[in-house]
Structure 1
Amino acid sequence: MGKGKGNPTGWIARVSRGQILFEMDGVSLSNARQAATLAA
């Protein structure tokens, strides 16, 4: 019990107060990086 052999069902990320998390779907990695750089 507790060996972590199950399939993952989702992703979790700890985000501290004052931080912003972005999720981009349907774009290439290079376009996502460029968009994040332009937005910063």
Structure 2
Amino acid sequence: MGRGKGNPTGWIARVSTGQISFEMDGVSLSNSRQAATLAAHKPCSSTKFVLWS
């Protein structure tokens, strides 16, 4: 208890308060954009796409 959880592996992203981060894998870019656009209309929020290569 309290000794840490080991070394982090992979990418770490800082997400500010009031923001939600989603990661989509195995889906085409056009399908993911369409899904996020449809989902953004529900709570009236804006979306921003970042493409990792």
- Normalising by structure 1, we get a TM-score of 0.66
User: Post-superposition shift, 1:13?
Assistant: 1.9
User: Post-superposition shift, 1:11?
Assistant: 2.1
Aligned residues: 40
Q: Can you give the 5+ residue segments of structure 1 that lack an aligned partner in the other structure?
A: none
For each residue in 1:1-40, what CA deviation from the matched residue of structure 2 results, as whole angstroms up to 9, or x when unmatched?
9999999963222110111000111100010000000000
Give the alignment's Cα RMSD to 1 decimal: 6.0
- Normalising by structure 2, we get a TM-score of 0.53
Cα pair distance change 1:5/1:37, threshold 3 Å: same
Instruction: Tell me what 1:37 maps to.
Output: 37
Q: Can you give the 5+ residue segments of structure 2 that lack an aligned partner in the other structure?
A: 41-53
Percent of residue pairs identical: 90
